[in-house]
Every structure is written in structure tokens, then in C-alpha cells.
Amino acid sequence: MRSKALNLVKRYRIFLLLAFLNIAILIFLPQVGVKSVQLTWSNFIEMLSVLPPIFILLGLLDVWVQRETMTKYMGEHSGLIGVLIAFLLGSAAAGPLYAAFPVAGVLLKKGSKLSNVFIMLGAWSTTKIPLLLFEASALGFKFMLLRLVMDIFGIAIIAYFTEKMLSKKEKEEIYQRALAQ
């Protein structure tokens, strides 16, 4: 019983630390504390509105897409097709970046190549279609196109080199953590 409680505290230690800090700020600096609690609550509500649809889609992806299919199109030998799918998946996705990590976990569980998962995360954070449309209207088409091309090459290069820099043991640990979730 005690080890379960200890594991629970260990697992949620960052949340507990932040909750403690919010309470301490509220006690010692009430004006700042009220604002901190309001922001925390607002972020919590935003997460509740984003995460359930993401988890429903992840459940469907987990059930509908066979591991063999995912491995074929985004796995070790997927080549350019896997890179393009990763870019499209990340660019077409909705929601903040923290919603991309559960998606990345499912992709890893299904056998996606690590660099393709990195590409999806990079695309999710920088090449979203609504962002591109906003940039084109606010900053001009040339700026948007230049940034998009630089992002595409930058993301691909970073993903490739990041995967190459990881040892086999580190890669296996990443996949094992994804499977454990």
C-alpha cells in the first residue's frame, strides 16, 4: 500500500510541486496568487477541451490501423513516403503541441520510425496549415514560403541527426516507454 502511494507521488511530483507553489504564492502574495490560480484554471479547462478529442482519435488510430500498415508506411524502411506522411500528419493536426505527444506515443507503439515521429512533432509545432495561412496574409506569401521551406529542411535534418545520435539502447528505451503507456 505504501509503495503504491509513493509511486503515485513520484509519478505526479511535478503536478504536486506546481500545486504547492500555487498555494504558497496565493498565501504570501495574494494578488499574484489569484492571477496564478486563474491562469492555471484557464489552462486546465483548455486542456480538457483539447485532450478528449485527441484521445478518441488516438483510440481509433490504435484500433483501425494495423501495426503492419503503420510499419509499411512510416516504419524503418518507409523512405520518403514515411517522411511525407509525418509532415502531413503534423501540419494538418489541430491543437497545441502538448497534444502531439500522445500521438507520437501511438505512432511509436505502431512501429513508426523514430525520425518520422520527430518529423511529425516538428511539423506539428511549426508548419500547421492555419499558421501558414495567417503568415501569408499578415507577413506576405514570400515570407511564409521561405519560412516553410526552411522549416521543412530544418525539421528533416534535425530529425535525421537526432535519430542517428541516439544509441541503440536509447532508441529501445524510447520504444519501451511508448509501449508501457
Q: What is the pLDDT of residues 102-138, one digit of tens each?
A: 999 999 999 999 999 999 999 999 998 888 899 999 9
| pLDDT of 37 higher than 70 | yes
Confidence of residue 88 (pLDDT cuts 50, 70, 90): very high
| pLDDT of 1 higher than 70 | no
Burial profile 31-59: b = 16 or more Cβ within 10 angstroms, e = fewer? eebeebeeeeeeeeeeeeeebeebeebbe
**pTM passes above 0.85:** no
Q: Which of 155, 147, 66 is closest to 117 using CA atoms?
A: 155
- Scanning 12-140, the segments in alpha helix (DSSP H) are 13-28, 30-64, 67-74, 79-92, 100-109, 114-126, 129-139
Residue 59 has a pLDDT of 84
Distance CA 8, CA 23 (A): 20
**CA distances (Å), origin 67, targets 70, 77, 157:** 5, 14, 26
Confidence of residue 54 (pLDDT cuts 50, 70, 90): confident
pLDDT in tens, 135-165: 999 999 999 999 999 999 999 999 999 999 9
Q: Coil, helix or strand for 49?
A: helix
| pLDDT of 96 higher than 90 | no
Residue 3 has a pLDDT of 81
Distance CA 164, CA 162 (A): 5
Residue 167 has a pLDDT of 94
